[in-house]
A and B are shown apart, each in its own frame.
Chain A
Amino acid sequence: AQSVSQHNHHVILSEAASLELGCNYSYGGTVNLFWYVQYPGQHLQLLLKYFSGDPLVKGIKGFEAEFIKSKFSFNLRKPSVQWSDTAEYFCAVTPPGGGGNKLTFGTGTQLKVEL
């Protein structure tokens, strides 16, 4: 079945450590890719998105992601995390074909940054 996979369910890092969260999708064809963040008790906020062009996408709060088409991946990175980055991170894809542009989400990665 077509899907979005986030392999890291829980990640614990110390402040200033580097972060990389994996995201793989199984759709063929052109897709749009997103990373969303959900801080505790809050709504989902868009970190960054990729539609076309430069596969290295820069988002808000120092986050970036790289689209590697051959690997069907869109991994999220940050060189140095802060305690305030503690949140849940969701990768999402708008599949090719019909059905509007509904998002299909991965299962999320819970990131905890320790002081």
Chain B
Amino acid sequence: DSGVTQTPKHLITATGQRVTLRCSPRSGDLSVYWYQQSLDQGLQFLIQYYNGEERAKGNILERFSAQQFPDLHSELNLSSLELGDSALYFCASSRGQGSGYTFGSGTRLTVV
């Protein structure tokens, strides 16, 4: 157990639907990062939150959004899902600049 909790572990949904992925960071970590891992794109950075505020944005589609709540957990919302959104979505947390990352076990999303 890395200390970063992601739910659900697996999600199967249909095209056009909307899903929410949840991440609870390791205790004391203020930063949360979302990554998408797919066979053709590899590990792609999506978005970072620090203490409730968006800090950096990567290759995140407009159909995707995220937020970090006062208790520091984060949610990644994926809408109007397409087959190509099928991937493993990882959340990571860190304490700040210069510290390492701790990754969660990921949510495997399958869009059918």
Contact = CB atoms under 8 A, between A and B. Distances in A.
B64 interface: no
Q: Which 10 A-B pairs have the closest CB atoms?
A: A105-B43, A99-B56, A44-B103, A100-B55, A43-B103, A43-B105, A100-B56, A107-B42, A101-B97, A102-B56
19 contacts: A34-B100, A43-B2, A43-B103, A44-B90, A45-B2, A46-B100, A46-B101, A90-B43, A100-B31, A100-B97, A101-B94, A101-B96, A102-B45, A102-B48, A102-B56, A103-B33, A104-B45, A105-B35, A108-B42
Q: Which label, helix, strand, loop or mixed, suits the secondary structure of the B interface?
A: strand
A43 B42 contact: no
Contacts of A42: 105
Interface of A: 32, 34, 36, 42-46, 49, 51, 90, 98-108
Nearest to B2: A43
Interface of B: 2, 4, 31, 33, 35, 42-43, 45, 48, 50, 55-56, 58, 90, 92, 94, 96-106
A106 B42 CA distance: 8
A31 B106 CA distance: 26
Contacts, number: 58
A43 B106 contact: yes
A49 B98 CA distance: 10
A32 B94 CA distance: 14
A90 B90 CA distance: 14
A43 B92 CA distance: 10
Contacts of B101: 34, 44, 46, 103
A51 B43 CA distance: 22
Given A32-B98, A46-B102, A103-B45, 19 more contacts: A34-B101, A36-B103, A43-B4, A45-B103, A46-B100, A51-B98, A90-B43, A99-B48, A99-B55, A99-B56, A100-B50, A100-B56, A101-B31, A102-B33, A103-B92, A105-B42, A105-B43, A105-B45, A107-B42
